Chain A
Amino acid sequence: MSKRAIDAVFEGLFLLTDIRVMLRETAPQHALDESQREKVRSLLDALEKEVAVLREELA
């Protein structure tokens, strides 16, 4: 594990935070419109990249 892994951990946590904020903005029904869904999809894609970095660092 290296500095790259540290950065990936923080970046991943920040991406999850953005998803958390989406939950707040749409409470209590969490009925996301299409642009909100797209934003969450994009956050999840970015999160998967950070997780992939961590897996690489672990290998």
Chain B
Amino acid sequence: MKCTGTIDVRDVDESSINIDPIQVGGRLTPDAMKAMIAYGDGYSVCDQCRKPFRLDYINTPPIAQFHRDLASFVNMEIARVVPGARRGFQAVADAFISPGDPVLITALSHYTEVLAIEGRGGVIREIPKTGSNIITSELAAQKIEEVTREFHRSPTLLFLDHFDYQYGNRHDVAGIIRVAHQYDIPVLYNGAYSVGIMPVDGKKIGADFVVGSGHKSMAAPAPSGMLATTSEWAGRVFRTTGVTTDVTKRTFGIKEIGMMGCTLMGVTLMGMMASFPHVRERVTHWEEELANGRKVVDALMSIEGTVIKSEYPRNHTLTRVDTTGSFDRVAQVHKKRGFFFSSALKGKGIAGIIPGATKVWKFNTYGMTDSQAEYLATAFRDIGRENGLAVTD
């Protein structure tokens, strides 16, 4: 079926259980879908924009209130919406990093943090991970000492992911931030895999900046996200224009430089806002989400030769699994070779695994109903049995 012309209808989530590691937390709520219908036109939120002509001042629809609610949601003081978490990283990088500044990330940081630093000419240094793929405060302290010796000054900034994109492992953000603050290093907490799916308290963690992703974890269309901070740093990262142009003598009110003026001027913001009441509520059900994830992880572990590469027991619904010793063994002799696995999943109505992947792959169970989680767990076991692998009950 076509939407129009050459564009197919996308019905992955209507026809299948989607376990794509990056998609599940961004699926829209029913209310966001309805907002998409009503606010799809370009600058759709600007009908009632009045002086001082800035997104976070608009009262109809209640965008100003939404900004206050967002800050409160992550227990920070000031928040802005941004076109994806990456633009939050970039805004903070632009405000803090000068060429040649040492900047810390971790061995499991997302590539967009690297790009944000590189764009400013910062010098990237990584906090290493442990053998079990965890970032610890001890390793952070060692790296800060090492970088301080190398550059004769402390790192300018630390980018820290609460849950990393590779393993979905939980890292000791509060402990690491405590260490960084002993060296006066401000810390950006990357909550792309936490804000919107589990409770996040920026003050309790000690973060200077909290970044969340609308399309990854807040049931919003892409690109959307949030950047929240304290009143201490807000003036720097949300600084306003002060320029007067030379020929026309124009000035630009209170537009924020780091935000490039207004950020989400239409359907992305309205989708985010429409989902927000549900998102605020759903974070309180994180333990139930973990329970569903564990059902599926346990099913995979029951298949001979399968290894869970993420920390175990799981603290996140995103999991990395190594099936070199199970499904990949089947692939060596199956007529469909490596495609047998994705094909078998598709046959059972499961989508989201890269076709051909049989060795190391990731999946995410977030947002499933209990019966969908049971179904998925059974499907993995059945595919194992149907292909001659030993499966324990």
Within 8 A of A (CB), among B13-38: 13-17, 27, 30, 33-34, 37-38
Q: Mark B269-299, 1 if CB is under 8 A from A, else 0.
A: 0000000000000000000000000000000
Cα A13 to Cα B348 in complex, Å, equals 30
Interface residues of B in 362-393 (CB under 8 A from A): 369, 372, 375
User: Which residues of chain A come closer than 8 Å to B369, judged between CB atoms?
Assistant: 25
Q: How far is the CA of A20 from the CA of B33 in the complex (A)?
A: 10
- Contact pick for B30, options A10, A18, A27, CB 8 Å: A18
Q: Does B218 contact A (CB under 8 A)?
A: no
Q: Are A21 and B30 in contact (CB under 8 A)?
A: yes
Tell yes or no: A24 within 8 A of B by CB: yes
A29 contacts partner chain B, Cβ-Cβ < 8 Å: yes
| A17 at the binding interface (Cβ < 8 Å) | yes
Q: Would you call A27 and B372 a contact (CB within 8 A)?
A: yes
B-contact bits for A1-26, CB 8 A (1 contact / 0 none): 00000000010011001101101110
The interface residues of chain A lying within 8 Å CB-to-CB of B348 are 28
Tell me if A27 and B349 are in contact (CB < 8 A). yes
Query: Which of A13, A17, A24, A29 contacts B13 (CB under 8 A)?
Result: A24
| Secondary structure call for the A interface | helix
Partner of B37, one of A13, A21, A24, A25: A13
Q: Is the CB of B38 within 8 A of A23?
A: no
**B30 contacts A17, C-beta separation under 8 Å:** yes
Given known A-B contacts A18-B30, A20-B33, A27 and B17 have beta carbons under 8 A apart: yes
Measured between alpha carbons, how far is A13 from B38 in the docked complex, in Å? 10
Q: How far is the CA of A56 from the CA of B323 in the complex (A)?
A: 60
| Contact present for B34 and A14 (CB under 8 Å) | yes
Residues of B within 8 A of A (CB-CB), count:
17
- Min CB distance A35 to B, Å, is 14
Is there contact, CB below 8 Å, between B350 and A28? yes
CB distance from B312 to the nearest CB of A (A): 28
CB pair B14–A27 under 8 Å, yes or no, is yes
What residue of chain B has the Cβ atom nearest to residue A18's Cβ? Answer: B30
User: CA A20 – CA B38 in complex, angstroms?
Assistant: 17
A27, B15: Cβ atoms under 8 Å?
Answer: yes
B14 contacts A23, C-beta separation under 8 Å: yes
Within 8 A of B (CB), among A20-59: 20-21, 23-25, 27-29
- B34 x A17 contact (CB < 8 A): yes
- In the docked arrangement, what's the CA distance between A24 and B23, Å? 14
* CA of A24 to CA of B372, assembled, Å: 10
Given contacts A27-B372, A28-B348, contact A20 B14 (CB under 8 A): yes
Provide the bound-state CA to CA distance between A42 and B30, in Å: 17
Q: Which residues of B contact A14 (CB under 8 A)?
A: 34, 37
CB distance from A33 to the nearest CB of B (A): 10
Q: How far apart sit A23 and B350, CA to CA, in the bound complex (Å)?
A: 14
CB distance from B282 to the nearest CB of A (A): 14
Distance in Å from the Cβ of A42 to the closest Cβ of chain B? 15
B17 close to A28 (CB less than 8 A): yes
- Please report the C-alpha to C-alpha distance between residue A10 and residue B28 in the assembled complex, in whole angstroms: 18
Docked Cα-Cα span, A14 to B16, in Å, equals 22
Question: Given A18-B30, A27-B13, A28-B350, 4 other A-B contacts at CB below 8 A?
Answer: A13-B34, A20-B14, A27-B15, A27-B17
Identify 17 residue pairs between A and B in the complex whose beta-carbon atoms are under 8 Å apart, listed by A's number: A13-B37, A14-B37, A17-B30, A17-B33, A18-B30, A20-B14, A20-B33, A21-B30, A23-B14, A27-B13, A27-B372, A28-B15, A28-B348, A28-B350, A28-B375, A29-B349, A29-B375
Give 10 closest A-B pairs by Cβ, nearest first: A28-B349, A23-B14, A21-B30, A17-B33, A14-B34, A24-B13, A13-B37, A28-B16, A17-B34, A24-B14
